[in-house]
C-alpha cells in the first residue's frame, strides 16, 4: 500500500455501519517506534521527532506525524530527513523497549483469538469469528483492543474492521491516526470505487504513474477496465490481482504464524572499516544485543549467522548450526567470530556487519547443555544478571570490558536492528 495518507470515502447512510460478517481486523500501531520512544519523553509529544541514529549515513526508523508533515518517512536517509525538518528532535532507537511492547501487544491479541497473523512488530491481522459469541460484535472487540493497548502500553493504534484482509488493512490506514473504521460487507465495492488507485495494496508510486498514463485514476476506473487490458499493461499476475482487489475480492484467510523466525542485529558504520579488531568488537556488541533480545523474547536458537557487506555493497552471509540451542552471549559471539575469521578477509573495507540467531524455539522447551569449561555459576546466569542490571539502570549500563573504550554509539554509528 502506498505510504501516502488518503481520506476515507463518505458513506451513503447515516446509520451506524453494519459489521455483520466483518470478522477480519487489521490492527496497526500509530507511528509505533516514535510513540514507544516518547513514553519516557512526554515533553516531546506534539513536536516533530525522528527515530534513528544521528549519523548522516543512518536511516529513519520512524517519525512522529508532526515530522511526517514535512515529508519525513521511514527508511529515508537521516541527512535528507534533517534537511526536510531541521527542527526535529532525533532520538536513538530503543529496540529492547520496542520488543517488550510488541510482545505485550501480541499477548493482548492472544486473549481475543488464537487466529493472529503478525506482519511485523507493530501490526497484525486477527480473525475474530470465534470470539464474537464471547466478546460481542467485531466493532466492540476492536474498540476493546484499542482501549486496552492505550491503557496498558501508553500508545495508540488504528483498527480496520472488514470481511477481507485487503479491505481491513486499507481501512486501518484510512483510520490513522488513533481511529477505527468499519467497512460493511455490502458496502465494500462502493467504498473502494471512491478511492484513488494509489490507495490499493500493492500500488506504489511507479505503478500509480503507469496507471495514470493509462487514464486510470480511481479504483472504479481500474475495476471497469477489462482484466485483459490490465494484464497487457502490468503483467498477468499483477493485472489480475489489481482487478480482483478493485472489486473487493480477496479470499486469503488469516494465517496464524510465529512472529519471530530469527533474532538479530546489524551495524552500518559511519565510514568503511578495515581493522579486524574493530570488527571483532562490533561482532561482540551485536552478539550481546542479539542474545539479550532472544532472552527477552523467551527464545533460544541453534544456528548463528553473520552478514558482511563490503564498501562496494557486495554482501555475503555465513552460518553455523550448533549442537545445542543457546541464548548465551559468549556462545553466539564465539561462533560469529569463528565464521568471520574463516573468511580470511585481511584488510577488506567493510561497510556493515550483522549477527543473527536462527532456528528459534521457546526457552522452556529447549534442553540446557552445560559445558566443561563453564564455572559453577555459568555464563547463562551472568547474562541474566546483566539483563537485570540493564532493566534497572538502562541498556548498556553493563557490557564487556573490551567495549568500554568504544565511543558512544550515537556519535559515530548508524544503527539498524532487525527482528
Nearest to 328 by CA among 386, 275, 274: 386
Q: Report the distance separating Cα 277 and Cα 45, nearest Å.
A: 41
Q: Please write down the long-range contacts of 81-87, taking CB distance under 8 Å and 24 or more positions apart.
A: 81/50, 81/52, 82/50, 85/48, 85/50, 87/48
The set of catalytic residues is 123
Q: b/e per residue, 239-271, with b = 16+ CB within 10 A? A: bebbbebbebebeeebebeebbebbbbbbbbee
Q: Which helix (H) or strand (E) holds 392?
A: helix 379-393
The binding site for Mg(2+) consists of 28, 122
- Provide the grid cell at 169: 488493512
Q: What are phi and psi of 224, to 5 degrees?
A: -95, 10
- For residue 60, give every residue at least 6 positions away whose Cβ sits within 8 Å of its Cβ, in sequence order, or none: 50, 51, 52, 72, 73, 74, 75, 76, 77, 78, 81
Give the 3-state secondary structure of residue 198: helix
Q: Report the distance separating Cα 90 and Cα 52, nearest Å.
A: 7
Triad 201, 143, 49: Cα angle to 5°: 65
Q: Report the distance separating Cα 123 and Cα 133, nearest Å.
A: 25
Q: Contact at 8 Å (CB) between 415 and 91? A: no
Nearest to 135 by CA among 150, 147, 125, 123: 147
Amino acid at each position: 500500500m502506498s505510504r501516502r495518507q488518503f481520506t476515507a470515502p463518505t458513506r451513503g447512510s447515516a446509520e451506524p455501519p453494519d459489521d455483520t460478517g466483518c470478522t477480519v481486523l487489521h490492527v496497526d500501531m500509530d507511528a509505533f517506534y516514535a510513540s514507544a520512544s516518547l513514553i519516557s519523553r512526554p515533553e516531546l509529544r506534539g513536536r516533530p521527532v525522528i527515530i534513528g541514529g544521528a549519523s548522516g549515513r543512518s536511516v529513519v526508523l520512524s517519525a512522529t506525524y508532526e515530522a511526517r508533515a514535512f515529508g519525513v518517512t521511514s527508511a529515508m536517509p537521516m541527512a535528507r530527513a534533517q534537511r526536510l525538518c531541521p527542527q526535529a528532535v532525533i532520538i536513538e532507537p530503543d529496540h529492547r523497549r520496542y520488543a517488550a511492547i510488541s510482545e505485550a501487544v501480541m499477548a493482548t491479541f492472544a486473549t481475543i483469538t488464537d487466529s493472529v497473523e503478525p506482519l511485523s512488530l507493530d501490526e497484525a491481522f486477527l480473525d475474530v469469528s470465534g470470539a464474537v459469541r464471547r466478546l460481542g460484535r467485531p466493532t466492540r472487540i476492536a474498540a476493546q483492543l484499542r482501549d486496552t493497548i492505550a491503557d496498558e502500553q501508553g500508545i495508540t493504534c488504528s483498527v480496520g474492521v472488514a470481511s477481507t484482509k485487503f479491505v481491513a488493512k486499507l481501512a486501518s490506514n484510512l483510520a490513522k491516526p488513533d481511529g477505527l473504521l468499519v467497512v460493511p460487507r455490502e458496502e465494500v465495492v462502493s467504498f473502494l470505487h471512491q478511492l484513488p488507485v494509489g490507495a490499493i495494496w500493492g500500488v506504489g508510486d511507479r505503478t500509480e504513474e503507469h496507471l495514470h498514463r493509462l487514464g486510470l485514476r480511481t479504483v472504479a476506473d481500474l475495476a471497469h477496465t477489462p482484466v485483459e487490458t490490465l494484464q497487457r499493461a502490468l503483467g498477468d499476475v499483477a493485472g489480475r490481482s489489481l482487478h480482483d482487489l478493485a472489486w473487493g475480492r480477496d479470499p486469503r484467510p488469516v494465517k496464524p504464524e510465529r512472529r519471530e523466525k530469527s533474532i538479530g542485529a546489524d551495524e552500518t558504520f559511519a565510514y568503511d572499516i578495515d581493522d579486524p579488531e574493530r570488527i571483532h568488537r562490533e561482532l561482540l556488541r551485536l552478539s550481546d544485543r542479539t542474545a539479550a533480545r532472544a532472552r527477552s523474547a523467551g527464545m533460544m536458537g541453534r544456528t548463528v549467522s553473520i552478514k558482511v557487506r563490503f564498501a562496494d555493497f557486495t554482501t555475503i552471509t555465513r552460518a553455523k548450526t550448533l549442537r545445542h540451542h543457546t541464548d548465551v552471549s559468549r556462545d553466539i559471539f564465539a561462533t560469529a567470530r569463528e565464521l568471520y575469521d574463516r573468511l580470511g578477509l585481511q584488510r577488506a573495507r567493510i561497510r556493515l556487519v550483522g549477527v543473527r540467531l536462527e532456528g528459534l524455539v521457546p526457552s522452556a522447551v529447549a534442553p540446557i547443555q552445560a559445558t566443561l569449561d563453564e564455572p559453577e555459576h555459568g555464563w547463562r546466569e551472568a547474562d541474566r544478571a546483566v539483563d537485570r542490571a540493564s532493566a534497572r539502570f538502562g541498556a548498556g549500563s553493563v557490557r564487556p570490558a573490551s567495549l568500554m573504550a568504544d565511543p558512544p554509539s550515537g556519535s559515530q554509528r548508524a544503527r539498524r536492528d532487525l527482528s
